[in-house]
Structure 1
């Protein structure tokens, strides 16, 4: 069975829009593009290569696909593991607007998205990786189709922009399986789903500061 993983970059206030370049995603008047660049450090590349080496395919939303397809095929150095994996491995793009996908080894998923992804997940392999692709990631989180979240949270507050966990997400609990602070001040947290949230009542606990 294939494990579906999500890797994404977040500001401290949860924004995932346009981390890489000023022109990456300016929709809704976003003016903070390229906010991740000042915090790029050795751990970013080390973990990136480690995880890309585990991929047997990629699952992408339309916008992320277009950004990747415009850049990564131009990187032909076979010693660049990330480029080599992205250019060679199967890529599945979820889009109702694309008519064709010309990047090598790319398949469009245009309908029955959850069912088609569930089929891919049930197949053989190690990881089917999502990078960025916020709208797709939100939908799959709501349908419990993501097995691991790799969240890079950076010490910057942007105040506006698209967020991974927008209001309206389906409630879910997560289990922290790995946490690391990098040299730039980023905190990398890896989570796995832990079912539905559980609840309690501090007024039933004699130690509670709410009772003083």
Structure 2
């Protein structure tokens, strides 16, 4: 684990592309994840512009380690090891982070991880993530991994949400926040909108929601 002289525990952040109706499934292409009969893969493509990638670079520059679910690991490990760490632009920055920093896969079905620098902690995902967060560093980052994210959100372990909300409704697909999601309050700490209409919001967890009465 990277040590930057700070002995504070790592924060866990989740960066997720979602639609207006909360779908996270298969943002990158038609064949990325057609499970469940999903036919809308690649829904981010018409809205990705240069300023999106500038934001993503700023996120990756804060990373000290990465956490994946099995499906996202399979997708990323088939692509990012092929990208040179000395590449130009946003892709080069992201490739350098992914290929050089520690990576962890929370999976009971993955027997071996071939991507260099990857470990499979095994056992209970919540316990494994809690142990990783106790390590010194800046951010343990999740990108995608929606199914694992739901488990970790339900355990109250995610400190920061980076949500890139795309101006499209799909009606079907896996949604990030299921009906049994843990009630949690968040503080909006940063927001911006890209030229293509993608709303980027950074939300910091504040624990249980606060309630009150709206009076006239």
What TM-score, normalized by structure 2, do the two folds share? 0.92
What is the match of residue 43 of structure 2? Answer: 35
Q: Of 23, 48, 51, which residue of structure 1 is paired with 2:56?
A: 48
Q: Of 183, 200, 214, which residue of structure 2 is paired with 1:188?
A: 200
C-alpha deviation, 1:50, in angstroms: 1.1
Q: Of 163, 171, 174, which residue of structure 1 is paired with 2:183?
A: 171
Q: Of 88, 110, 120, which residue of structure 2 is paired with 1:108?
A: 120
In the alignment of these two chains, the number of paired residues is 204
SS in 2 for 1:84: helix
Is the aligned partner of 1:135 residue 2:147?
Answer: yes
Query: Which structure 2 segments of 5+ residues have no match?
Result: 1-8
RMSD of the TM alignment (CA)?
1.0
What is the match of residue 61 of structure 1? Answer: 69
Contact residue 12 and residue 158 of structure 2 kept, 8 A: yes
SS in 1 for 2:141: strand
Contact residue 47 and residue 198 of structure 2 kept, 8 A: yes
Whole-angstrom distance in 1 between the partners of 2:85 and 2:111: 30
Is the aligned partner of 1:20 residue 2:28?
Answer: yes
C-alpha deviation, 1:77, in angstroms: 4.7
What is the match of residue 14 of structure 2? Answer: 6
Whole-angstrom distance in 2 between the partners of 1:13 and 1:66: 26
Deviating 4+ runs (over 4 angstroms): none
> Once the two structures are superposed, what CA deviation does each residue of 1:9-41 show, in whole Å capped at 9, x if it has no partner?
011111000000111111100000000011001
Is the aligned partner of 1:158 residue 2:170?
Answer: yes
Whole-angstrom distance in 1 between the partners of 2:211 and 2:128: 34
> Once the two structures are superposed, what CA deviation does each residue of 1:119-176 show, in whole Å capped at 9, x if it has no partner?
1111111111000001111111111111100000011010100010011111111111
Query: Which structure 1 segments of 5+ residues have no match?
Result: 208-212
C-alpha deviation, 1:52, in angstroms: 0.7
What TM-score, normalized by structure 1, do the two folds share? 0.93
Whole-angstrom distance in 1 between the partners of 2:175 and 2:203: 17
> Once the two structures are superposed, what CA deviation does each residue of 1:174-196 show, in whole Å capped at 9, x if it has no partner?
11111111110010010011111
Q: Which of the pair has more CA radius of gyration?
A: 1
Whole-angstrom distance in 1 between the partners of 2:85 and 2:207: 42
